[in-house]
Amino acid sequence: MRVYIIKDDLMIPSVLPTYNRAPLTFVKGEGTWLTEADGRRFLDLGAGIAVNALGHAHPSLVAALTDQAQNLWHVSNLYQIPQQQALADRLVAATFADTVFFTNSGTEACELAVKMARKYWYDKGQPDRTDIITFDGSFHGRSSAGIAAAGSEKMTAGFGPLLPGFVHLPWNDHDATVAAITDTTAAILIEPIQGEGGIRVLPDQCLKGLRDLCDQHGILLILDEVQCGMGRTGKLFAHEWAGIEPDIMMVAKGIGGGFPLGAVLATEDAASGMTAGTHGSTYGGNPLGCAVGCAVMDHISEPTFLAGVNRKAGLLGQKLEGLIAADPDVFTTVQGAGLMLGLKCVPTNIDVVNAGYDNQIITVPAADNVIRLLPPLTISDAEIDEALTRLDQTARQIQSR
Ligand SMILES: *Cc1c(COP(=O)(O)O)cnc(C)c1O
């Protein structure tokens, strides 16, 4: 066996220290449960930040992945990839979209969404229409385009010069949006529900208002459904609640159920500039990811599955109202939609998440002092009860300090 030399004169860890990691090491996952190396079982209301939409080690996904792994892992996009075709066909059949490009992540989906919007106007003979309107508190990934799009100091400081062409507006400010549209505006980019931004829901009326505004000015509406899509809100995609359709949509997280997979969905018109050679990816749309993606879609797009998400969301929401009433010194409000919920905390959300770990329940912090509850969509009623018990214990532990 090779002996690795430990360079103990170094201060930097061998893994670049860009994360604040909890001292937890999970070694196995099953449904809504994670097992820590010491044997403790944690109830997972984080799902890898809305990634494990069908829970951990779902038998259909394990079967899809292992069957594909035994046949073919990777071929270049120089060739036909039937699994990619099958997943694209499913997405086109189930959504507004006419065409799909596959990526490995949400931030890569953002890259293409931005390129697609600019190319659209370039090809229409308006190459100066390059600006994309975005909103405070948004998150679109960590690439150069992603951080420039979101624009927050926290993500951009030190990484300039930033990609130009983003106009940042206050969240949900219709008048500011109307005023910001000029003859250089290419598109509006928004999350129907902000995830990292603290589970802030854009009211249906506002999403409709943005659609109308885009139609009036002929500009493109780009929705980032990386976190709120794939059944999370009880519809396949969150914008369906508002009865509107985007021109371009970014998807990732839940679509691979834990396998790195993302996608950009678009109408034929919005995608018209993206001809052969204009974009590409080595791994995007690989057979492994798309085989798993097909299995995920087959479950989540089922009306009975989505009805189940809505029923459980009602149950969880109602119980969380009870929790707030019982523990007002810890939790003040619940916000969100479907199984994408945020609890506003009185102590710091980090303290609450950490106290949750002591009670073997996993939640995820977000902006606005919120803890996010993003359980697997497959969570059972009994697990919802168990989650409430553990959240209540967590609150009582904090109060007893
Ligand atoms: C997570 C997330 C992204 C970035 O996705 P990655 O896969 O981490 O690159 C973009 N937009 C939203 C809304 C997200 O939640």
Closest ligand 1 atom to Cα of 110: 10
Residue 317, amino acid: G
pLDDT recorded at residue 310: 98
Residue 137 lies in a domain: yes
pLDDT recorded at residue 1: 66
Closest ligand 1 atom to Cα of 138: 13
Q: Are 105 and 317 in contact (CB under 8 A)?
A: no
Cα(227) to ligand 1 centroid in Å equals 7
Would strands 41-44 and 248-251 be described as parallel, antiparallel, or unpaired? unpaired
Cα(109) to ligand 1 centroid in Å equals 9
Cα(226) to ligand 1 centroid in Å equals 6
pLDDT tens digits, one per residue of 241-292 = 999 999 999 999 999 999 999 999 999 999 999 999 999 999 999 999 999 9
pLDDT recorded at residue 370: 98
Cα(163) to ligand 1 centroid in Å equals 18
Q: Considering only CA atoms, which residue is closest to atom 5 of ligand 1?
A: 106
Closest ligand 1 atom to Cα of 107: 9
Closest ligand 1 atom to Cα of 105: 7
Residue 325 lies in a domain: no
Cα(279) to ligand 1 centroid in Å equals 20
Cα(49) to ligand 1 centroid in Å equals 9
Q: Considering only CA atoms, which residue is closest to atom 6 of ligand 1?
A: 106
Closest ligand 1 atom to Cα of 228: 13
Residue 138 lies in a domain: yes
Residue 204 lies in a domain: yes
Q: Considering only CA atoms, which residue is closest to atom 15 of ligand 1?
A: 227
Secondary structure string (H, E, C) spanning the chain: CCCCCCCCCCCCCCCCCCCCCCCCCEEEEEECEEEECCCCEEEECCHHHHCCCCCECCHHHHHHHHHHHHHCCCCCCCCCCHHHHHHHHHHHHHCCCCEEEEECCHHHHHHHHHHHHHHHHHHCCCCCCCEEEEECCCCCCCCHHHHHHHCCHHHHCCCCCCCCCEEEECCCCHHHHHHHCCCCEEEEEECCEECCCCCEECCHHHHHHHHHHHHHHCCEEEEECCCCCCCCCCCCCHHHHHCCCCCEEEECHHHHECECCEEEEECCCCCCCCCCCCCCCCCCCCHHHHHHHHHHHHHHCCHHHHHHHHHHHHHHHHHHHHHHHHCCCCEEEEEEECCEEEEEECCCHHHHHHHHHHCCEECEEECCCEEEECCCCCCCHHHHHHHHHHHHHHHHHHHCC
**Hey, which of 227, 228, 230, 255 would you mutate to test ligand 1's pocket, going by the most ligand atoms within 8 Å of its Cβ?**
227
Residue 167's DSSP bridge partners are: 133
Question: Domain range holding 237?
Answer: 86-300
Q: Residues with beta carbon inside 6 Å of ligand 1?
A: 105-107, 139-141, 191, 195, 224, 226-227, 252-253
Cα(263) to ligand 1 centroid in Å equals 11
What is the CATH number for 157?
3.40.640.10
Cα(29) to ligand 1 centroid in Å equals 22
Residue 31 lies in a domain: no
Global pTM reads 0.98
Cα(106) to ligand 1 centroid in Å equals 4
Residue 308 lies in a domain: no
Rg, the chain, Cα only: 21
pLDDT tens over the chain, length 401 residues: 677 777 778 889 999 999 999 999 999 999 999 999 999 999 999 999 999 999 999 999 999 999 999 999 999 999 999 999 999 999 999 999 999 999 999 999 999 999 999 999 999 999 999 999 999 999 999 999 999 999 999 999 999 999 999 999 999 899 999 999 999 999 999 999 999 999 999 999 999 999 999 999 999 999 999 999 999 999 999 999 999 999 999 999 999 999 999 999 999 999 999 999 999 999 999 999 999 999 999 999 999 999 999 999 999 999 999 999 999 999 999 999 999 999 999 999 999 999 999 999 999 999 999 999 999 999 999 999 999 999 999 999 999 98
Residue 354 lies in a domain: no
Count of structural domains, the chain? 1
**Hey, which of 108, 140, 283, 374 would you mutate to test ligand 1's pocket, going by the most ligand atoms within 8 Å of its Cβ?**
140
Closest ligand 1 atom to Cα of 196: 15
Residue 347 lies in a domain: no
Cα(2) to ligand 1 centroid in Å equals 37
Q: Are 135 and 168 in contact (CB under 8 A)?
A: yes
